Structure 1
Amino acid sequence: MSGATGRRKHSPAVYRRRRLVLLILLIVIAVAVWLVIAQPWRGSASENDTTTPPSATQDAASELPVPDNAAGSSAVANPDPSASVIVEPAPEASAVTTAEPCIARDVKVEALTDSDTYGSGQNPQLSMRVTNNGTEDCGLNVGTTTQVFTITSGSDTWWRSTDCQTEPSDMVVLLAAGQTVTSAAPLTWDRTRSSVESCGPDASRQAAPGGGATYRLDVEIGGIRSLEPKQILLY
């Protein structure tokens, strides 16, 4: 007999078990690679991720509406017979019914202009800013029915935004405590004297003197007036 011992040959069942283990291992590796590449959990996360859109009240309160065809603005039209009718806001304007009305002492109203001095041919751009300095949220009518822009020189009232305003509307919004809102777009004063009789396209208006003349802008919204006028100079 030879001194070398022959290697024992395994049965077919052992080879089958080894092939089965190898197959399972390959399947596990393939599934792991697919999970890394496909990341199927992303789709379900996106479907379940529903971000609540801002409420209509928040959208409305981010900017103040602009008076339509105010006296001496960029467009002056004939007075609308229905201009005195208060137009109720659409549902998406979100009239506030649960919040308490704002208290005047808690609301700061400021008159704003785009410059302090205007050269010949430059028309002042008028805006306002409203801040709720109170500790509680409150409701305020910021619609164009409650907005008034007034230009004076001394005791003489030169211009008022409501003289030729058309289709004013109400918009009651929620002012959060500490929130500040500003005009969505400025009004343009064309440096003329306004009146309810001077709203037609052919109406004649007196031009405001320049040469360094001083004028003041006062604003009002929701029955609350600005405490300090904004002074401007016309040249």
Structure 2
Amino acid sequence: MTTLGHMSSSSQRTSSSPRNRRPRRKLSKRQRQIYRRRRIVALIALIVVLALIAFCVYSLGRGMMAIDAAIRHDDQMALSRSAVPTPQQQSSVKDCTAADIDLSLQSESQSVAVGGSMKFTATIKYVLKGKSSCLIDGADDSRVLTITSGGDTVWRSDVCDVDSRKMLLAAGDTDTQTITWNTNRTGSSCADDSTLPKVEAGTYTAQLSMKDHPKIVSNKVTITVG
């Protein structure tokens, strides 16, 4: 009897076990659609992220290639510029010669005190008639005023470089400029005028000349410093 009772009890537990399990929850059709949409959205987002990463890597690679190409191009251009000489500017207008122009020089006075200043008027005049013309540089380092004492060159206007002053001269053209000499002595290199030593009392001669055309000279002007 005991055995039967035990078996009966065991049978009851076995038969009651399936009833104790929680039934599996079934998703409604709407819920399944929502989950499906979420999976699709997640998949699309993943694809977009991967596409963006691929695009960034591609763009970075193209950018590096472009920078490298630009650097090589600049290097080649620099080499080309250094290898090719600068072309000389050509013009159909000729340079002025001694037959085309006349230089004249005048001083504001014939004497000046030691340490004083003397102003000169430098004039370039085109002397030919007709329709011809010529080019000349009228800057102080091209149209040069030279002051001498015997065989000693005391002062020159071309010691310091200045900007070029190219002029096209034709019949009737005249260029007039004022040059000031502070009765001092220039050296072999450019220096501030206030640092130059003053000349001693004596007689000095001033004259204009064209640096690139030695035959073009002006009249001589004698002045006394004292």
Structure 2 CA distance for aligned equivalents of residues 151 and 195 of structure 1: 13
Equivalent positions of 1:28-177 (< 5 A) are 97-135=91-129, 136-163=132-159, 165-166=160-161, 168-177=162-171
Partner of 1:104, secondary structure, is coil
1:122 Cα deviation after fit = 3.0
Contact 1:101 / 1:138 at 8 angstroms: preserved in 2?
A: yes
1:194 Cα deviation after fit = 1.1
1:195 Cα deviation after fit = 0.2
Please tell me whether residue 220 in structure 1 is matched to residue 216 in structure 2: no
**Partner letter of residue 216 of structure 1?**
T
Partner of 2:185: 193
Output one character per residue of 1:86-110: Cα deviation in whole Å (capped at 9) or x when no partner: xxxxxxxxx9944332222221111
Structure 2 CA distance for aligned equivalents of residues 120 and 154 of structure 1: 18
In 2 relative to 1, CA 173–96 (structure 1 residues): closer, same or farther, beyond 3 Å? farther
Output one character per residue of 1:29-76: Cα deviation in whole Å (capped at 9) or x when no partner: xxxxxxxxxxxxxxxxxxxxxxxxxxxxxxxxxxxxxxxxxxxxxxxx
Contact 1:125 / 1:188 at 8 angstroms: preserved in 2?
A: yes
1:143 Cα deviation after fit = 3.3
Please tell me whether residue 181 in structure 1 is matched to residue 175 in structure 2: yes
In 2 relative to 1, CA 203–228 (structure 1 residues): closer, same or farther, beyond 3 Å? same
- TM-score, L = length of structure 1: 0.49
Partner of 1:76: none
Contact 2:126 / 2:174 at 8 angstroms: preserved in 1?
A: yes
1:149 Cα deviation after fit = 1.4
Gap runs ≥5 in structure 2: 1-88
**Partner letter of residue 189 of structure 1?**
W
In 2 relative to 1, CA 202–113 (structure 1 residues): closer, same or farther, beyond 3 Å? closer
**Partner letter of residue 109 of structure 1?**
L
Gap runs ≥5 in structure 1: 1-94
CA RMSD between the two structures: 2.7
Partner of 2:72: none
1:197 Cα deviation after fit = 4.8
**Matched pairs, number:** 134
Structure 1 CA distance for aligned equivalents of residues 181 and 149 of structure 2: 14
- TM-score, L = length of structure 2: 0.51
**Partner letter of residue 190 of structure 1?**
N
Partner of 1:233: 224
Structure 2 CA distance for aligned equivalents of residues 97 and 138 of structure 1: 10
